[in-house]
């Protein structure tokens, strides 16, 4: 059995976080389990603002001890952590055993958190979690924050940002251009420490879809757990996200969510991969 583990927050509508990770793992044929770091509830009476409840660190420790004690888990995805105290526990746990793959989705801020606390959390993530990553998957905003670059307007910019972020410790970096990246394509770049690759698919609409980042990182995690290379894992993950956005689920929230169930695994002619030669 191939096991994939997630350390992430619950998002109660099922559109992001832990719920997306488990659905993605299942769809890609790996056995999923995980620990909850926090519980996020969008508030229907407050314009769907985020309510954030941290899971007490002792309860987080118990969850980690249960799963990692029960199964031989060597591949993990790290999602929203939410607080410096949580980051300390997760960092200790990651250092306490050997891993084949640690995929870090560097979720920097979640609405509903105090800005001061968010800054501490970002610093702790950068110092204590990112150096342990074998792959990290920043979005456009996170990549600008982590690289110190002001804007990401070209493929060259995405590659530079990925290379700068790799200097913080992760072996491979996937920078997602996303909806803010100019042009008709959704462009992601992988820097694997030696080569850069450019992944493209036509943008589907011009609105942000919730859960795309979580799905991408979870799918990379599942594919790595099955033994794929990082490049092949990213290609499958982008195919799944593209299919899932095409088949997105609308809701009363201001954003739609990804439907992981739409992925067929038949290969997607809309997704292209080429090596970047600067
Ligand atoms: O998409 C980032 C994200 C990750 N994890 C949780 C979230 C969100 C965004 O809402 O709630 C738990």
pLDDT digits (tens, 9 = 90+) for 5-28: 999 999 999 999 999 999 999 999
Q: Identify which of 8, 9, 22 to mutate to test ligand 1's pocket (most ligand atoms within 8 A of the CB).
A: 9
Specify the ligand 1 atom closest to the Cα of 40.
11
Q: How far, in Å, is the centroid of ligand 1 from the Cα of 190?
A: 23
With a 6 Å cutoff on the Cβ, whether 40 touches ligand 1 is yes
Query: Look-up: residue for tokens 């990290």?
Result: 136
Of 4-8, 46-50, 69-73, 189-193, the range with the lowest mean pLDDT is: 46-50
Average pLDDT on 164-184 reads: 97
Q: Is the pLDDT of residue 234 over 80?
A: yes
Residue 114 predicted with pLDDT over 70: no
What is the distance between the alpha carbons of residues 168 and 190, in angstroms, rounded to a whole number? 16
pTM value > 0.75? yes
Q: What is the token pair recorded at 32?
A: 């999923």
Q: 113 falls in which pLDDT band (50, 70, 90)? A: low
Tell me how far apart the alpha carbons of residues 95 and 277 are, in angstroms, rounded to a whole number: 36
Task: Find residue 274's DSSP bridge partners.
Answer: 198
Q: How confident is the model at residue 136 (pLDDT cuts 50, 70, 90)?
A: very high
Ligand 1 in contact with 110 (CB < 6 A)?
yes
Check: CB of residue 42 under 8 Å from CB of residue 13: yes
Distance CA 7, CA 92 (A): 13
pLDDT at 61 (0 to 100): 98
Q: What is the pLDDT of residues 137-160, one digit of tens each?
A: 999 999 999 999 999 999 999 999
Q: What are phi and psi of 142, to 5 degrees?
A: -65, -35
Q: How far apart are CA 105 and CA 17, in angstroms?
A: 10
Nearest atom in ligand 1 to 9's CA:
12
CA separation for the pair 199, 207 (Å, rounded): 20
Q: How far is the CA of 111 from the centre of ligand 1 (A)?
A: 9
Q: How far is the CA of 195 from the centre of ligand 1 (A)?
A: 30
Q: Phi, psi at residue 120, to the nearest 5°?
A: -60, -40
As to burial, measured by CB atoms within 10 angstroms (0-12 exposed, 13-18 middle, 19+ buried), residue 220 is: buried
DSSP calls for 83-112? SHHHHHHHHHHHHTS--SEEEE------TT
Which residue's CA lies nearest to atom 12 of ligand 1? 9
């Amino acid at each position: 059995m191939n096991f994939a583990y997630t350390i992430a927050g619950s998002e109660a509508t099922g559109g992001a976080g832990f719920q997306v990770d488990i659905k993605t793992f299942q769809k890609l044929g790996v056995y999923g389990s995980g620990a909850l770091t926090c519980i996020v509830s969008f508030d229907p009476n407050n314009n769907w603002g985020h309510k954030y409840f941290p899971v007490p660190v002792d309860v987080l420790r118990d969850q980690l001890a249960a799963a990692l004690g029960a199964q031989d888990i060597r591949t993990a995805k790290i999602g929203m952590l939410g607080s410096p105290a949580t980051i300390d526990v997760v960092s200790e746990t990651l250092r306490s055993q050997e891993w084949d793959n640690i995929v870090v989705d560097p979720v920097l801020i979640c609405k509903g958190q105090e800005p001061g606390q968010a800054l501490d959390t970002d610093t702790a993530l950068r110092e204590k979690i990112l150096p342990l990553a074998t792959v990290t998957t920043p979005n456009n905003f996170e990549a600008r924050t982590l690289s110190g670059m002001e804007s990401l307007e070209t493929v060259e910019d995405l590659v530079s940002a990925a290379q700068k972020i790799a200097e913080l410790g992760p072996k491979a970096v996937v920078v997602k251009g996303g909806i803010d990246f100019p042009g008709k394509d959704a462009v992601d770049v992988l820097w694997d420490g030696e080569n850069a690759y450019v992944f493209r698919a036509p943008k589907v609409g011009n609105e942000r879809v919730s859960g795309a980042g979580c799905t991408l990182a979870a799918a990379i995690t599942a594919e790595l757990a099955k033994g794929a290379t990082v490049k092949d894992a990213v290609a499958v993950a982008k195919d799944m996200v593209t299919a899932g956005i095409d088949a997105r689920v609308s809701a009363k929230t201001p954003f739609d969510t990804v439907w992981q169930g739409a992925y067929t695994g038949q290969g997607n002619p809309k997704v292209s991969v080429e090596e970047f030669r600067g």
